[in-house]
Structure 1
Amino acid sequence: MGDDLVQRAHWGNLEGQNWAGLARLSTEETEGEISSDATSEEAGPRFVTGRDIKSTEEQERDGRGFVESRGGRCVHTYMEPDTSAWKRKRVRLPDGSIGYRVVRPVFEGALEDLKRGKAPNGERIDGLIVYDIDRLTRDPRHLEDAIETVEHYHWPIIDITGTLDLLTDNGRAMARVVVAMANKQSADTARRVRRNHKARRDRGIPVGGTRPFGWQEDKRTLDPTEAKHIRDAVKRLIEGASWHAIVADWNRKGITISRPPGGAVRPPEY
């Protein structure tokens, strides 16, 4: 049955099949290209991100339309908002050692569900569809996981733009090349972003984003009240207080960061 599913997907025949979609959105600067229309020094470069490509809703709609136009049903969509398919994080591996991996639990869960042939809602799934290869991954390790699912478990993964072909040997070889180049593009862009931010920092030019706590909206003028809170907190740390004690104290007093998640201060994570 598995080989037949892959062959039928290769022919574009999804009649009677159940498919799941994967819709990924990345808003990271490091996955975008620096726009050439950014000429203002104060404004800085504008980064084109996944949001400029396709929203998750558009990806879901287009994937559903593609499957239904070929006789299939779209029974579930794995939503992966604000997720990097390239940036690695420090993680603890199953053997207890430390490694650096792209962390995408939704993507990994989708592959495991596909191998079992069952979506989270209990529906049978026969394949996975994405908008294009860039929405699937920019990480060679994750690409190999997807290739394994197709080649050895015989569950098809396809896209709607024609940039992804994991159903044939030639297509898999080309996918490896494309993902390797996309990975390099992300690394190059990240390097340019870091250099741009360093140059702006050295010249005292603020970068985008929410104002830092302790500064006013121009990001150059100290906020007297918030700056005092920071100085007091630093003094307490030097005297031996813990981050958690300071955070708890700030929350009791109603002191919030410039853009608080849920209105509260959280201790730093390491």
Structure 2
Amino acid sequence: MVTNQIRFDDGAAYERYMGKWSRLAGETFLDWLAPQSGLRWLDVGCGNGAFTEMIVERCAPVSVQGIDPSEGQLAYARIRPALRVAQFHLGDAMAQPFSDDAFDAAVMPLVIFFVPEPAKGVAEMARVVCPGGSVAAYAWDMYGGGFPYAALQAEMREMGVEVPVPPSPGASRIDAMRDLWAGAGLDAVETREITVQRTFTDFDDYWTAILGGPSVGQQLAAMATEDIELLKARMRARLPADASGRITYSARANAVKGRVPN
């Protein structure tokens, strides 16, 4: 069975696969934004709430709302203890169910390449944020090899396995993000790169993390046992462990921020 769609239905599987990476990049992203406390936040493509939780814990918001197209992901977000103060909505980044000027800050964490028409998503964020408010995003550098599981996907493709790609991978290029923000009429547009490292306790820890991952899980489940063993061997060679068996490697994201004109 081969699928070319990336589905986000299992919040717990996504947490193992991407939640840690999201928080690692999100820490640097929030440091860069340096937001004031007491803001009204919108998390666009909030998924299972990994980044939403950081907003609540670090930014002292007066309110937080999240929007995502996956009810399974939202169900996971709603059970995070820190997110009892947040509100979550099933919805589309390109047609948000909020009134104009409803928020002080809108963020789109690790999402813009999944939006079929990124310019519409950015325009919607700009619409719902009040004058002087912040619109920002960060996304894995898909074209530059910054995706945390780029090596795994490359090995799978070498073995003839079709690995799905998001609908708008080019939107994560730093120049494309700058153009999208400028095209939405945002002021004071800035961009930066974010590089992070994650350590897995051993190869089994890494392998457990990828099982069920939305961009590879279905493909892995469909592979023959001998092909899985070959893939594991190839990945062990690409991700050498240290003397304690730990595996550490890097990922890179691009970030952008701008301000709604007064």
Asked whether the two chains share a fold, i.e. TM above 0.5, the reply is no
Highest relative contact order (Cα 8 Å, sep 6+), 1 or 2? 2
Choose 1 or 2 for highest CA Rg.
1
Q: TM-score normalized by structure 2?
A: 0.30
Q: Which has the higher strand share?
A: 2
